[in-house]
């Protein structure tokens, strides 16, 4: 990020940022400040559009949304924790090198002693000298053995530490790809999986499809019942989507109340059937508000369907599914529409 505004503009943006943070009841931490400053200053058009879309649907943004937007626009990976792993691995490598150098020095010294004894034996092979050599040889062998044993023991310990780091790193990667609210994959993961699926589809001359899904009238639910209920509804919808797809299919929380489903090896007809199953399942949900068991309004979802076409980029298939979703919204909601030819 490069900031080259004048002091007066920077001060004005500061005032706007703090006012925006206060209006949305956010904690004024560096992450909130960064996202809100970029929004009010208009420096990042894509970020501003994403914040505006959330505001239109939710009236305000909360800390969870701010975190999602920050990760989407500013964080490639979990930088801080990745840095910790890098430092841990660096320390292990340094310690291994030190132990190997120390042990290797002991082994080299042992070899030097053996060579010296051989030379003495050649020049003066009498019993007294031989006795001294045997005593010294036993001592030297013991020391070399200790050095080798110490190295072996340490390498076993290092292997255990490395395995532990590997497990933690896998967990870090998994956490970075998961949406915190629903447990589904996040938008960043979708980008990677779309590229992989497209490459595989081209090689195998296959097909795949994509669903874009959006909860209907979600803004009204938030206005009437608040964001906590809104979050619960998003979680229930995410779970329904996950239960309606195969193990090879991928459910993603695209952002806010929007979801995406990637359907490998699935034609547009097959994808439409999956979409209809999801739509009808969500329509049948009966949600209540605890602890008074107040019935919540019926939740419905609109869906757009697209299928891979030759020479598609990842954005092409998303845009066609998004247009189909818009068609569902315009046609009355709670329905499935396929991409236009």
Q: What is the largest CA-CA distance in the chain?
A: 108
Tell me the Ramachandran region of residue 184: left when phi exceeds 0, alpha when psi lies from -120 to 50, beta otherwise: beta
Shared domain check, 95 and 55: no
Choose the catalytic residue: 38, 68, 71, 257: 257
Q: 49 pLDDT band (50/70/90 cuts)?
A: confident
Shared domain check, 162 and 270: no
**Structural domain for 24, as ranges:** 7-74
Q: Which of 17-21, 101-105, 191-195, 253-257 shows the lowest per-residue confidence on average (mean pLDDT)? A: 101-105
Please say if the pLDDT value at position 131 is more than 60.
no
Which pLDDT score is estimated for 328? 95
41: Cα separation from own chain's centroid: 28
Shared domain check, 198 and 314: yes
180: Cα separation from own chain's centroid: 10
Shared domain check, 155 and 47: no
Best CA proximity match to 306, nearest among 281, 327, 332, 331: 327
Shared domain check, 202 and 92: no
Shared domain check, 330 and 208: yes
Shared domain check, 225 and 291: yes
Q: Which residues of 36-64 are buried (b: 16+ CB within 10 A; e: fewer)?
A: bbbbbbeebeebeebbeebeebbeebbee
Known active-site residue 257: yes
Tell which of 128, 148, 176 closes a domain.
176
Q: 34 pLDDT band (50/70/90 cuts)?
A: confident
Which pLDDT score is estimated for 221? 85
Q: Cis bond leading into 291, ω under 30°?
A: yes
Identify whether 2 is part of a domain: no
Which pLDDT score is estimated for 77? 45
195: Cα separation from own chain's centroid: 16
Tell which of 74, 100, 120 closes a domain.
74
Shared domain check, 142 and 98: yes
Q: 149 pLDDT band (50/70/90 cuts)?
A: low
- The mean pLDDT value for 117-126 works out to 60
Shared domain check, 196 and 169: no
Q: Which of 28-32, 245-249, 265-269, 281-285 shows the lowest per-residue confidence on average (mean pLDDT)? A: 28-32
Give the long-range contacts of residues 127-136, CB within 8 A, separation 24 or more: none
98: Cα separation from own chain's centroid: 35
Q: What is the CATH number of the domain that holds 291?
A: 3.30.70.270
Best CA proximity match to 60, nearest among 33, 26, 27, 84: 26
Tell which of 35, 54, 74 closes a domain.
74
The model's pTM: 0.58
pLDDT in tens, 208-258: 999 999 999 998 888 888 888 888 899 999 999 999 999 899 999 998 899
Identify whether 238 is part of a domain: yes
For residues 118 and 129, give the distance between their C-alpha atoms in angstroms, rounded to a whole number. 11
Identify whether 293 is part of a domain: yes
Angle, CA of 94, 95 and 96, to the nearest 5°: 90
Shared domain check, 210 and 264: yes
pLDDT in tens, 295-316: 888 899 999 999 999 888 888 9
Please say if the pLDDT value at position 337 is more than 80.
yes
For the chain, the domain total comes to: 3
Identify whether 211 is part of a domain: yes
Angle, CA of 96, 98 and 100, to the nearest 5°: 65
pLDDT in tens, 311-332: 888 889 999 999 999 999 999 9
Average pLDDT, the chain: 79
Please say if the pLDDT value at position 95 is more than 90.
no
Q: 335 pLDDT band (50/70/90 cuts)?
A: very high
Q: 8 pLDDT band (50/70/90 cuts)?
A: confident
Best CA proximity match to 287, nearest among 337, 239, 219, 336: 239
Shared domain check, 163 and 99: yes
- Percent of the chain's residues with pLDDT above 90: 28
- The mean pLDDT value for 31-54 works out to 86
Shared domain check, 122 and 20: no
Identify whether 181 is part of a domain: no
């Amino acid at each position: 990020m490069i900031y080259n505004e004048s002091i007066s503009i920077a001060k004005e943006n500061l005032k706007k940022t703090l006012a925006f943070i206060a209006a949305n009841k956010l904690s004024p931490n560096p992450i909130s400040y960064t996202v809100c400053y970029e929004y009010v200053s208009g420096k990042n058009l894509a970020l501003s559009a994403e914040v505006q879309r959330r505001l239109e649907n939710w009236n305000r943004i909360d800390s969870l949304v701010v975190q999602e937007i920050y990760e989407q626009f500013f964080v490639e990976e979990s930088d801080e924790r990745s840095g910790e792993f890098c430092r841990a691995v660096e320390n292990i490598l340094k310690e291994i090198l030190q132990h190997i150098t120390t042990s290797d020095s002991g082994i080299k010294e042992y070899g030097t002693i053996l060579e010296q004894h051989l030379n003495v034996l050649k020049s003066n092979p009498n019993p007294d000298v031989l006795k001294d050599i045997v005593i010294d040889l036993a001592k030297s062998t013991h020391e070399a053995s200790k050095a080798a044993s110490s190295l072996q023991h340490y390498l076993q310990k290092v292997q255990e530490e490395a395995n532990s780091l590997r497990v933690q790193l896998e967990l870090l990667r998994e956490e970075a790809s998961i949406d915190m609210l629903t447990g589904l994959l996040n938008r960043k993961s979708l980008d990677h999986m779309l590229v992989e699926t497209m490459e595989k589809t081209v090689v195998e001359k296959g097909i795949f499809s994509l669903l874009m899904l959006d909860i209907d009238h979600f803004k009204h639910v938030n206005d009437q019942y608040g964001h906590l209920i809104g979050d619960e509804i998003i979680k229930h919808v995410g779970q329904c989507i996950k239960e309606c797809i195969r193990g090879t299919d991928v459910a993603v929380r695209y952002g806010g109340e929007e979801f995406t489903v990637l359907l490998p090896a699935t034609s547009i007809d097959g994808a439409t059937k999956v979409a209809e199953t999801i739509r009808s399942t969500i329509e049948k949900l009966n949600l209540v508000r605890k602890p008074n068991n107040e019935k919540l309004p019926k939740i419905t979802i609109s869906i757009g369907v697209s299928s891979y076409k030759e020479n598609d980029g990842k954005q092409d298939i998303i845009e066609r599914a998004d247009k189909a979703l818009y068609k569902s919204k315009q046609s009355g909601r709670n329905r499935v529409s396929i991409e236009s030819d």
